[in-house]
Structure 1
């Protein structure tokens, strides 16, 4: 397998979230893909299996396990494919469902937009929220009452917890094993911690213990789920576009643009990408 390395949601190699990309994993079995993902060492590696005509099966592996959907690896894959084959549209058949991705090339800049599966939200039980806050070292007073806690989905599940201040979001300290155990019980992929700067500008952090990652610098799947959360709870007037800043607290700034259409369809998440070769 030819293994490419790209960062997503940044045009600067020092920013964004790195991902491994295999544009043709034909014939690779699960063990081989898991081994490659562990050797690459990024939070996710995406493996494309061509069906023909712009359709692909895609598998996503962290160094520790397979996940059903990964947004930043999808953006990285689309950017790598556009660099190799030109701009266009891809139809990615993920374990979460069909995700379409469009790309555009403007000189040295490649931009990709994914459209998620239909999002949905679910209540976050009081006991589960209390346990999550305890593991994070947060209190109820640290929360923004205007953005109620929920569990949100756009391919995988993420609890959404909003901080009342930027300082609270910046001060992230938790027991990785304890949070991993809590998330495993509930099937959560990352925890989407957010702070609202303005009506359409947010900052986020995403602990990802199931993948062995303390803090993810850019999380497209969580951004899509968050867009669905904002729409379903009426926290933005759809159609709307919001921006999510992530990775700044860990020195890998990332920018995710989230387009939220009216209705119940998928959420668009846009970002740039660049090779790390």
Structure 2
């Protein structure tokens, strides 16, 4: 049916200054009374992993909802970065407050030395939980991996930073690069476990990681940049004592898809909220 008349969908890529990289997001700054079914239909028509719908509360405060082509999700990091940049371009830089289904997320926007708008989101409080061994085994089977492919220094956990993500650390970069999984089998498991994406990680150095994020619950094979998972992973490292706060680290994502993305993550002490920074740029029509 297409996008309804009067609805302006802005298209940006987040976590890249190159529209050929990053993760595309739709942003609707004036949903004009759109219903849930309207927003889901618009997100499906846009076809990106998420489209954000922003409802102005006044005084730089907004309600925000995120829809994938198949379902609403409680929080989406890359669409938050894209939304914040769109608002900064329209209204000027500064701090905004976004009321998500997961809770309050603040975003600080600024212009960097290159003249690009950047945004730093501060997540809701992060947490981790043990991953059920049977669920981990099923995830590995769907991914066509075995326990021998995992990095023992990055144990499987379910990490939360606004949405739930199973974190699996891998022992080699080659294993991550060769990802090829059973979409339907993994989709079924993730629906049962309420996992939004998988955070598949390889540690390149003390403060550099490479990630891939399957997203079958949203009808998307893979996200090229996942801010929500980056925030959750920051909490994972902190809660497991694998990083000493205050600290920053970088995640490279999307390289294996030909859409390179850079996510800079900040971990504070004693705050369990995590900061994720990136830029966004518009996709030309």
C-alpha displacement of 1:264: 3.6
CA distance in structure 2 between the partners assigned to 1:127 and 1:34 by the alignment: 33
TM-score by length of 2: 0.96
SS at match of 2:221: strand
In structure 1, what is the equivalent of residue 172 of structure 2? 165
In structure 2, what is the equivalent of residue 78 of structure 1? 84
Matched ranges for 1:1-277 at <5 A: 1-106=7-112, 108-277=115-284
The answer to whether the 8 A contact 1:26-1:50 is kept is no
CA distance in structure 2 between the partners assigned to 1:250 and 1:165 by the alignment: 18
SS at match of 1:10: coil
C-alpha displacement of 1:84: 1.3
Count of residues in Structure 1 that have an aligned counterpart in Structure 2 = 277
For structure 2, the residue ranges without an aligned partner over 5 or more in a row are 1-6
CA distance in structure 2 between the partners assigned to 1:32 and 1:124 by the alignment: 36
RMSD (CA atoms): 0.8
CA distance in structure 1 between the partners assigned to 2:25 and 2:197 by the alignment: 16
TM-score by length of 1: 0.99
CA distance in structure 2 between the partners assigned to 1:149 and 1:26 by the alignment: 43
C-alpha displacement of 1:23: 1.0
CA distance in structure 2 between the partners assigned to 1:105 and 1:240 by the alignment: 23
Deviations 1:73-128 (A, max 9, x none): 00000011111111111100000000000101245411000000000000011111
For structure 1, the residue ranges without an aligned partner over 5 or more in a row are none
